[in-house]
Chain A
Amino acid sequence: MPFPGFLFDGVRTPHRKHTAQAETVVMPPPAAVILPMVQHIGAPCIPTVAVGDTVDVGQVVGDSEQAVSTPVHSSVSGTVTALRDVELPGGRTVQAVVIQSDGEQRVHPGIAPPHVETKEEFLRAVRASGLVGLGGAGFPTHIKLNPPDPGRIDTLLINASECEPYLTADYRECMENPQDVLAGVRTVMTFLPVRQVILATKKDHPELLRVLGDIAAELTTPACRATAKALPARYPQGAEKVLISSCTGRRVPPGRLPADVGCVVMNVTTAAALAQYLRTGMPLISRRITLDGSAVAHPQNIRVLIGTPIRDVIAFAGGTKAPIRKLLMGGPMMGLAQQDDSLPILKQNNGILALAEQDVPSHPEEHCIRCGQCIRVCPMHLMPTALMDAYAARNADALQNLHAMVCMECGCCSYTCPAHRPLTQSIRLAKGFLRRQTSQQEVKRP
């Protein structure tokens, strides 16, 4: 790039990693858990239990026949009290299994370490673990680890960059659980032979880089070189395409997948969770989340059972010190605002942020002064201001020409815009608009 730090490389967001040194606290089981049947990208699960059933910890409560899907397990022992619809953070309404906890945390008798020798057994085990990408995307791990053409994959990237402000869940995983990270990556290397493994984090976490360096040293074999990579301290270095480009120099073309450039990207906590499953046989029923934000009395990292309502998590952590004005699932750059704190923690949730008044400023939108800042920061090399204008005119041709669908909604353009224009938000709407246009055309054609 002609001017380092000047073009196409995201923004410098504030860190606000207040909880980086906070040892993870384990939260006891709540009175009830809500387990939505969609906690992944792919087909919804169908409940395998009925109201009134008694369930144990680790028991499957929802599964699907579809290939791209992943089962849901009970995180408590107790009684199924309802099968009801819940609205997910993204606005989608799905069925959920509600389980009243009996407080005993009785482990399901079927829980035992899986027998894993062949690749088929490995992939079956990964599917049975209920694992999805824990960094936020929620892509089923067994699909990710089974690329269509495994011979082309030569690089495994372990993503520990956690570039969103506030969040420290992945950081704590590496600091508290380096052995599981090591074991998880090693297992993946066994069943997905690669030539290089890169464990990446941002360069402003020197202690984490040291831990990753130690892990890399142990992983290195004659056939495979493992390294720890220091990424620029910018957002969104953790975004899959940006990460691949920073680590390998390869660029995933628009509409393609990391596998097309020979890469598999895996979140560091996902790798550790895989190792825990293979060791214990206990599927994904809990995870670490970062609870932070100016309204939270005691920001901290908490290990919570999947399905625990947000309000129980906040109450467990000591409640609020100021009225909540905005409740976010995820980080401030890409997280989803919620209006209901009875929603459960999902598999892919890495943080809950409760923001008080001072962090929820409202600023009127002004005219674009064409400063070009949005273009300079766009990691996908788009023209956000032109996209916003094209969407305002509902001009589908112009939106296609400006490659609206390439946008990954990282939020850099809105973050940096001096005129406070809702650029990311407009492009998000534009993508929906284009999708509807395309589906309408398909309806007309036959």
Chain B
Amino acid sequence: MSDRWILSSSPHLHSGHSTTRIMGDVLIALIPAVIASFVLFGWRALVVETVCVASCMAAEYLSCRVMKKPNSTGDLSCMVTGLLLAMNLPVSIPLWQAVFGCVTSIVVAKMMFGGLGQNFVNPALVGRIVLTGSFPGDMNTWTHPFAWLGRAADGVSSATPLAMLKNGEIVAERYSIWDLLLGNRTGSLGETCALALILGGAYLLVRRVISPAIPLCFIGTVGVLALLCGENPVYHLLGGGLMIGAFFMATDYVTSPITTSGKILYAVGCGALTMLIRLGGSLPEGVSFAIVIMNITVPLIERITKPRPFGAERRVRR
């Protein structure tokens, strides 16, 4: 009889947390942004999002088959990558290019490094950067919101607020703060409606999926640096990809530091690099490059932000 009893080492209780639930929470947090993308950019927004999610799942499933690993699509992380990448694309992106970006994200940035937990840069951002580099024309064709309803008078393409800033145009002539908050501006699918992203970010904070350290420090650094450089911080906070970057991309567990002090250092670095690229570089937007560069510094950050054990007075050195 006693042979049937399970012998295991304590603890014998589990909280019920799971990777699938965490990824599911991220997907739920993205729902407001998905709705906003549909309202602003129409049916094609949903088509792009569906294509991205489906191709990421297919890419992960096929990678697992080829690598003879157990199918890992069930943890939902590939759906998160697909949806986040879609959020970073313009609505007019040719679908084959979107699929190309997704396959790059999953196969090159994630599965080739060993799958979830092993990648050192954010897969969705790699996809975006590869697409921007490969198809700069299509990736910089911005459709005006509500063009799908025929409401926008001035046609298909127009500059994003950050591009206007870069060109020395006066943004306020065109966009009010409400336009920026509600997303009534050009930009990629998921980045324009700041309110929807903040709502999703708040959901992640309440569910304790993410800690406030990264979004607060990232957004705070950008705001403070904009002020110091004599720029209008509102356009820098709401006019580009900062909200989606700070709440959804920089907070990716796998590619951000694991301790709170490390998170703070990393987020400040993200904010500083973003402003350096926006103000000093030739690109109007720098969020994705800033995050990817800081992703690479994470192992270094972790070396200097090891927590001190309980009761130890000073950092114990070898």
Contact = CB atoms under 8 A, between A and B. Distances in A.
B8 A326 contact: yes
B282 interface: no
B260 A254 contact: no
Given A369-B117, A373-B17, A401-B318, A381 B307 contact: yes
A368 to B, nearest CB: 5
Interface in B95-148: 114-118
A interface bracket (residues with beta carbon within 8 Å of B):
35 or more
A360 interface: yes
Nearest to B19: A418
A312 interface: no
B65 interface: no
B311 interface: yes
B307 A367 contact: no
B149 interface: no
Contacts of B7: 337-339
B43 interface: no
Interface in A337-374: 337-341, 355, 360-361, 363, 366-373
A233 interface: no
B5 A325 contact: yes
A387 to B, nearest CB: 11
A252 B313 CA distance: 10
Contacts of B2: 339-341
B167 interface: no
Interface in A379-420: 379-383, 385, 397, 400-403, 406, 409, 411, 414-420
Contacts of B316: 403
Name A's interface SS: loop
Contact of A251 (B212, B254, B310): B310
Interface in B1-26: 2-15, 17-19, 21-22
Interface string B239-255: 00000000000000110
A397 B317 CA distance: 12
A335 B10 contact: yes
Contacts of A368: 117
B9 A425 contact: yes
A325 B260 CA distance: 40
Contacts of A337: 5-10, 12
Given A326-B12, A332-B11, A370-B253, A360 B19 contact: no
10 contacts: A7-B260, A245-B310, A251-B311, A253-B311, A326-B6, A333-B12, A373-B17, A382-B309, A418-B21, A424-B9
